[in-house]
Amino acid sequence: METILLLAHTEKDGSLARSAREAQHAAGTLFKSLPGSKLVIGLVGDNVQMAANSIAACPATKYFGVTGADFTQPRYATDTAAAEAICKAAQATMVVAPATSRWARVLPGIAQRLGGRADTHVTGVAVADGKISVNRWFYRQRMEGALTRTQRPWILGIDPGSQTPCECGVGTAAVEMVTVNLTDASKRTTVIGIREPKADAQTIRPDAQLLFVTGAGWTKKQADGQTHLPEAEKLILDFLKKSRASLGSSKSLVDLGGEGQAVLPFLSHLNQIGQTGATPRHAKGLSTCCHGEEPHTVGWRFIGERRAISLDPNCGWARGKADVLYVADAFAVISKVNALLAAGG
């Protein structure tokens, strides 16, 4: 009989992030498919009561918490100690956790301490004939694999964006506090601040409906024999502001910046989509001024509907990689789209 533990950390404001609710959905899927199994919740943070209450209507039978100022900041030593203590208190055989940057660092360490196994980048869980299997992608999202394991505890890091977030209702949860005795050595690391782009400079929006990808064409000489970088910058930023799309880029475009060439200043390698970049998940994607070569389009695996605007009717997108290809000048198209968006169209 499996004891399935949802292991999550709270956010700064004491809430549970969407990624935690997605992991909860995966844990709930296992629980519902395994007759006789138990579902329990483990939370780590400054104070976990609010988070526990926010999901109290879920079918979990027990809530465990590790709380206090020592567990507010992400820190390997204290997070691992907290997670290990909860897994032991819950006697968990399956541990389902969101693969946030905080948790992704500690999950393999917990598996090592508990003599279990950890699998990362899990995008699906299923049960067939009483046997649990998990899905993940390999070779930069080109191949999908299904894995089973007999080793317990089996720890799963669920990729954010891969599940529907669980929407179980609120209530009052009785949280059993788990004590963790920390040594001074485990508290040596301190987070002294977070450096992040200003809110309006944040172009990567995992929750956006649309992924808008820019290619090197935006920086190339156009029909008049000139480049139009300031115009490109304005069009792209205007579009992002109005559509709230997430911004992706081809490798060629972000590489140009690294090579000291004039390029769009708001792009970094973090925006890069593809084999050596990210594989974001969005309902729709629009590629502009981009050739659509295989290493680039491999990053579009989890995009529901793909469209592209390119001047080249022979580009990679036209060879079956896009659902719709507009053979058109992206400067003209995006300018028109921005005008329509401004008019509320």
Ligand X SMILES: Cc1cc2nc3c(=O)[nH]c(=O)nc-3n(C[C@H](O)[C@H](O)[C@H](O)COP(=O)(O)OP(=O)(O)OC[C@H]3O[C@@H](n4cnc5c(N)ncnc54)[C@H](O)[C@@H]3O)c2cc1C
Is residue 51 a contact residue for ligand X (CB under 6 A)?
no
The CB-of-332 to ligand X minimum distance in angstroms stands at 8
Smaller CB separation from ligand X, 49 or 310? 310
Residue selected from 89, 110, 156, 309 as contacting ligand X according to rule CB under 6 A: 309
Q: Which stretch binds ligand X (CB under 6 A): 22-30, 84-92, 193-201, 325-333?
A: 325-333
For residues 211-230, which are near ligand X according to CB under 6 A? 215-217, 220, 222
Of the candidates 296, 288, 291, 286, the residue with the CA atom closest to the CA atom of residue 315: 291
Is residue 314 a contact residue for ligand X (CB under 6 A)?
no
Residue selected from 40, 210, 253, 286 as contacting ligand X according to rule CB under 6 A: 253
All residues at 6 or more sequence positions from 242 whose CB lies less than 8 Å from its CB, including other chains: 338, 341, 342
The CB-of-18 to ligand X minimum distance in angstroms stands at 26
Is residue 93 a contact residue for ligand X (CB under 6 A)?
no
Q: Which residues of 206-223 are buried (b: 16+ CB within 10 A; e: fewer)?
A: eebebbbbbbbbbbeeee
Smaller CB separation from ligand X, 165 or 257? 257
Residue selected from 24, 93, 162, 272 as contacting ligand X according to rule CB under 6 A: 272
Is residue 275 a contact residue for ligand X (CB under 6 A)?
yes
Is residue 338 a contact residue for ligand X (CB under 6 A)?
no
All residues at 6 or more sequence positions from 80 whose CB lies less than 8 Å from its CB, including other chains: 106, 109, 110, 113
Smaller CB separation from ligand X, 22 or 159? 159
Contact 168, 233 (CB under 8 A): no
- Radius of gyration, CA atoms only, the chain: 23
Q: How many residues bind ligand X (CB under 6 A)?
A: 30
DSSP string for 217-265? GGGS--TTSS--HHHHHHHHHHHHHHH-PEEEE-HHHHHHHHTT----T
Q: Binding residues for ligand X, per CB under 6 A?
A: 215-217, 220, 222, 250-253, 272-277, 289-291, 293, 295-296, 299, 309-312, 315, 329-331
